[in-house]
Chain A
Amino acid sequence: DQQVKQNSPSLSVQEGRISILNCDYTNSMFDYFLWYKKYPAEGPTFLISISSIKDKNEDGRFTVFLNKSAKHLSLHIVPSQPGDSAVYFCPTTYTGGFKTIFGAGTRLFVKA
């Protein structure tokens, strides 16, 4: 039973347009949500996060939205750039916990 679901295995977007990556979770105990980006042959790197007390967090071109009632979060990238092409994971965890649960990831292709 996957506690974190990324239902779109891949997404293709034109350069300059918005990329929207989605993530659903099932465990209401999760109160901290992260996005990681992973390039081929590299480890995942932290991108942006949001705690359950917020519904939006913004960092430059990246904005994460959290809908607690729907147990859904999304990452918006505006404008998308070819260098954003990577696999994106949305791990979730809870404050004080040591286990971070990852989804399967979504591969983003940004076409020039």
Chain B
Amino acid sequence: IAGITQAPTSQILAAGRRMTLRCTQDMRHNAMYWYRQDLGLGLRLIHYSNTAGTTGKGEVPDGYSVSRANTDDFPLTLASAVPSQTSVYFCASSDFSGALTQYFGPGTRLTVL
């Protein structure tokens, strides 16, 4: 069982380009989350999904969009990347929305130039 996989591992992107970060889980968890980690700020929630077909905004949603077409996949899209979106992005999942323990993927390091 892989748990949560993220792709790509890292990416350098020109400002203004569109980018989709992929996240797949094989635990059949209902809830999924996207965080960004920045030095001195910890992890901040970007978007979440309680169950397939539903999504919601977290603390820092601007510039990002998500979709949840099925249980396993939760892609994060940057429509037009800006340098301030340079960060490490983590996808996570939990049994259900409100479950107290989340399981994290290995992260995607994104650099926007």
What residues make up the interface of A, taking CB atoms closer than 8 Å to B? Answer: 4, 6, 9, 32, 34, 41-46, 49, 89, 91, 93, 95-100, 102-105
A98 contact set on B, CB distance < 8 A:
31, 48, 50, 56, 97-98
B34-59: which residues lie under 8 A (CB-CB) from chain A?
35, 40-45, 48, 50, 56, 58-59
Q: Please, which residue of chain B has its CB at the minimum distance from the CB of A90?
A: B42
Structural contact, B42 and A34, CB atoms closer than 8 A:
no
From DSSP, what is the main secondary structure of chain A's interface residues?
loop
B 1-21 binary contact with A (CB < 8 Å = 1; else 0): 000100000000000000000
Is B66 interfacial (CB 8 A cutoff)? no
A100 to B41, CA, bound (A): 14
Apart from A41-B107, A43-B107, what 19 extra A-B contacts exist at CB < 8 Å? A6-B42, A9-B40, A34-B100, A41-B106, A43-B105, A45-B104, A46-B102, A49-B100, A89-B43, A95-B100, A97-B98, A98-B50, A99-B45, A100-B45, A100-B102, A102-B35, A104-B40, A104-B41, A104-B42
The answer for the CA separation of A104 and B37 in the assembled complex, in Å, is: 9
* Interfacial chain B residues near A44, Cβ < 8 Å: 43, 90, 104
B101 at interface by CB-CB < 8 Å: yes
- B residues contacting A by CB (< 8 A) are 4, 31, 35, 40-45, 48, 50, 56, 58-59, 90, 92, 97-98, 100-107
Pick from B42, B58, B105: contact of A99, CB under 8 Å: B58
